[in-house]
Structure 1
Amino acid sequence: MTRTTAISAVFAAAAAPAYAAAGPFFSLRNTDFIVTIAFILFIGILLYFRIPSIVGNLLDKRAEGIRADLDEARRLREEAQELFASYERRQREVKTQADDIIASARREASSAAEKAKLDLQASIARRLKAAEDQIGSAEADAVRRVRNEAVQLAVGAAGQVLAGQGDASGRSAQIDAAIKEVADRLH
C-alpha cells in the first residue's frame, strides 16, 4: 500500500460513525439523537442535584478565599512597608546618635588634651618653682655657712689680736665690742 491509500483508509474509518447518523432523526439507531438525549439527560441530572449551584458556591468560596488572601497580602504588605519605614527611621536616628557620640567624643578628647596640656604646664611650673626654691635655699645655706665661717674666723682673729694686746679687762671690752660689731653687720 502506498502512502496516500493508507491515509484514505484512515479517513474512511473515521467517517464511519457519520454513516450511522443516516436515516430518520428520532430513531434509536441515529447516534445524533442518542447523543442529544444523553446530553439532555446529563444536563437534567446536573440540574436535579443542583450541581451548578454547588459548583457556583465552590467557586464563590474559592473567590472569597482568594479575596481574603489578597486582603491579607495587602495588609502584610502595608505592615512590611510600615516596618521598613520604622527601620529606616530607626537607622537615621541611630546614625544621628552615632554622629552625636562621635562629635561628643571628639569634643571630650580635645578638652582632655587641652586639660592635659594645662596640667603639664602647671606641673612644669611647679617643678620649676620647686627647683628655684631649692636653689634659693641652697644659696641661703651657702651664705649662712660663709657668714658663720667669717664670724668664726673674725672671732678667732680678734682673739689672737687681743691676746697679743693688753690686759684681761681691756680684752674683755674689746671682745664684747667686736661681737657686737659682727652681730650688727650680719643682721
Structure 2
Amino acid sequence: MDASFWALVGLVLFFALIIYLKVPGKITSGLDKRADDIKDELEKARRLREEAQALLSDYQRKRHEAEEEATAIVAEANAEAERLTAETNRALEEVISRRSKAAEDKIAQAETQAIAEVRSKAADIAVQAAEGMLTAKVKDKVADDILSDSISQVKANLN
C-alpha cells in the first residue's frame, strides 16, 4: 500500500464527501440561480429599452407636430401682417384722398368767394364812379328820370 493508493482513497473519500454534502447540486443551483437572475435582468433591460424607444418616438412625433404647428403659426402671422399692411395702406390712401378732396373743395370755395368779393368790390367801385360821374354831369330832371328808371330795373331784376 503505497502512497498513491492512499492518495486515490483520499480522493475517492473527498469526492464521496462532496457528493454526500450535495456540493455539486448547490453549485449547479447557484449557477442556475445566477443564470436566471441574468436572464431576468436582460429581460428587464429589453423592456426598458423598448419603453425608451417608444418614448423617444413619441417625443420625436410630438416635436415634429410642434414644429409643424409653429411653422403654421408663423405663416398665419405673416399672412395676417400682410393683410393688415394692405388694409392700413388702403385706409391711409382713402384718408389722404378724402383730405385732398376736402382741401381742393375748400380751395375752390375760397376761390369762388374771392372772385365774388372781387366782383362785388368792382361793382361797388363802378357804381361809385358812375355815381360820381353822373352827379357831376347830370342834374335835376334828367337825374330824377334816370333814378326812377334804375329803381324800376332793379325791381324787375329782383322779381
Provide the TM-score with structure 1 as the length reference. 0.69
The one-letter code matched in structure 1 to 2:139 is G
Count, aligned residues = 154
- SS class of match (2:98): helix
Structure 2 counterpart of 1:57: 29
Using CA pairs under 8 Å that are at least 6 residues apart, name the structure with larger relative contact order, 1 or 2: 1
For residues 75-154 of structure 1, the aligned pairs below 5 Å read 75-154=47-126
The one-letter code matched in structure 2 to 1:149 is K
The one-letter code matched in structure 2 to 1:30 is A
The one-letter code matched in structure 2 to 1:166 is K
Q: Is the 8 A contact 1:158 1:175 kept in 2?
A: no
Quote the RMSD (CA, aligned, Å).
2.7
CA positional deviation for 1:35: 2.5
In percent, how many aligned pairs have the same letter?
Answer: 34
Structure 2 counterpart of 1:37: 9
> Residues 132-160 of structure 1, C-alpha deviation per residue, up to 9 Å, x if partnerless?
11221221221121122123213313432
Unmatched segments (≥5 aa) in structure 2: none
CA positional deviation for 1:77: 0.9
Unmatched segments (≥5 aa) in structure 1: 1-26
The one-letter code matched in structure 2 to 1:64 is D
Structure 1 counterpart of 2:139: 166
